[in-house]
Amino acid sequence: MATANTNLSAYDKSTIPNAKDFRFGIVVSEWNEEITQGMFQGAFDAIIDCGGIKENIVRWNVPGSFELIYGAKKMTQAFDMLDAVIVIGSVIQGETKHFDYVCEAVSQGIKDLNIQGDIPVIFCVLTDNNWQQAKERSGGKHGNKGTEAAIAAIKMAQLRKDARF
């Protein structure tokens, strides 16, 4: 496993743009809520740590990871002043192929939003084999994927700002 005994959430704040002037949307799946809430908290804390303002962060909840696509699409339409959107979900392998269909659909849907829209949508969906792996990546020994997504969102918000003509 590539992340064995590694915390991937450490970042050097001096290399991250200041987030004080950016607005972020975060769409959070209610499915596997213990996992997704941990990732939301990691994302929120990282944005604040990098200068973000609490009032510039909008959170919407959706029932499951499949619904993240629609939630992100509607969020980008409702708040055109957002600089980036983070989608947070957790899909854990079960006994059926449902896992495969959900993971594929969500990743393709988020990719499509990035191609078609002007607001970057950051993919923060865990696709783990079991509950323990999800716990380890949502604030456990492998860090917090929400933190990583927030850093990506800040960098993409800066790229979007810099790329405007």
10-residue averages of pLDDT along the chain (165 residues): 60 93 98 96 97 98 97 92 97 87 94 96 95 91 94 97 81
**Tokens 């499509």 — which residue?**
112
Helix residue spans in 5-144 (DSSP H): 33-49, 68-78, 98-116, 131-136
CATH architecture of 26-163: 3-Layer(aba) Sandwich (3.40)
The ranges assigned to domains in the chain are: 26-163
Residues known to be catalytic: 98
Cα–Cα distance, 73 to 62 (Å, whole number): 12
**What is the structure's pLDDT at 1?**
42
Cα–Cα distance, 116 to 134 (Å, whole number): 30
Is the pTM of the predicted complex or chain greater than 0.75?
A: yes
